[in-house]
Structure 1
Amino acid sequence: MSTKSLSPSSSFFASFAESITKFSGSTMAFSGALALVIVWAAVGPVFHYSETWQLVINTGTTIITFLMVFLIQRAQNKDSLVLHLKLNELIAATKGASNRLINAQDFTENEINLIHQYYCLLAEKAKLDNDLGQTHSVEEAEENHAEKLSAHRD
């Protein structure tokens, strides 16, 4: 979905939020915030360290923190979605990879735990292979393990 398919206000907000997020992580933003705190501390004696003087910094930092939480979460959601899309592409394009894991982020916690148990089993079976370079799907690992067991018994 491109920004062209978004409404003009959504597109503007997306662009604005991305710009603020990038700027807030910059050296210039940190330097500006540090300078603001230094100026605030320097004018403390002028205002006799009054409650109003303290309220100015407390209110300002609270408002900025409140808004930044939402911008950071928005950026994190976007980054997470992009990462999931890339992983989904790799799974879909890799022969032998289980397509059941595409969109795994939408699974329930129980489904995720079940799949985790399968991968723990896969890891245990891989240890038994003594070949750390070998990779398997869970099904392949179970077949390989069964074949090895029957070969050792014969």
Structure 2
Amino acid sequence: MRRRFRQISDLAVLWAGHRAVPVTLIAFIALWTAVGLSLSFPRQWFLLTNMLGTLIIFFILLLLQHSQNRDMMALHAKLDELIRSSKAGNHWIAAEKKDADAIEGMRQQHHGQITESAN
């Protein structure tokens, strides 16, 4: 089930991120509005399409967030492995899980080390 969701999510993100999608959607909305006004669709019809459009956008945003979170987790795992295999201090591993003050302290310490080694 999880694998299937990932496949659907990746396909939806790939589709939603294509450069032709916004142009196609704007053309479709303009056509839909023109047809609706010329045929005098009732007000409820426009409310229904507005609600469906909002739900679709919300769903696509959730899929994009899911994909971005998965990509960031993979990126952090790769960076952690690079830190582990290099001469860098292991205190940088999983820095993203620390609070903002701790990260700023680590950054300041690193900046101080760079300044000392340059002198």
* TM-score, structure 2 as length reference: 0.82
2:101 counterpart (113, 120, 133): 113
Q: Give distance in 1, aligned partners of 2:115 and 2:69.
A: 36
Equivalent of residue 26 in structure 2, options 34, 59, 62: 34
**8 Å Cα contact 1:40-1:57 kept in structure 2:** no
Deviations 1:113-138 (A, max 9, x none): 22422321432453455x3xxxxxxx
1:54 and 2:58 correspond? no
Equivalent residue for 1:136? none
> 3-state SS of the aligned residue for 2:82?
helix
2:91 maps to which residue? 100
Q: Secondary structure at the match of 1:43?
A: helix
Task: Answer yes or no: is the 8 Å Cα contact 2:83–2:92 preserved in 1.
Answer: yes
Query: How is 1:70-85 mapped onto 2 (pairs within 5 angstroms)?
Result: 70-85=62-77
Which among 104, 117, 126 is matched to residue 114 of structure 2? 126
Unaligned segments of structure 2, at least 5 residues: none
AA partner of residue 15 (structure 2): F
Which of the residues 16, 24, 29 maps onto 2:16?
24
2:78 corresponds to 1:90: no
Distance 1:30 1:101 in 2: 40
Asked which structure has the greater CA Rg, the reply is 1
Q: Tell me if the contact between 1:47 and 1:53 (Cα under 8 Å) persists in the aligned partners.
A: no
- The 1-side partners of 2:91 and 2:15 are apart by 39
The question of whether the paired residues in 2 share the 8 Å contact of 1:21 and 1:71 is answered with yes
- Give, in whole Å, the separation in 1 of the partners of 2:106 and 2:62: 36
Counterpart amino acid of residue 20 in structure 1 = A
The structure showing larger relative contact order (alpha-carbon pairs under 8 Å, at least 6 residues apart) is 2
Give RMSD over aligned pairs: 2.2
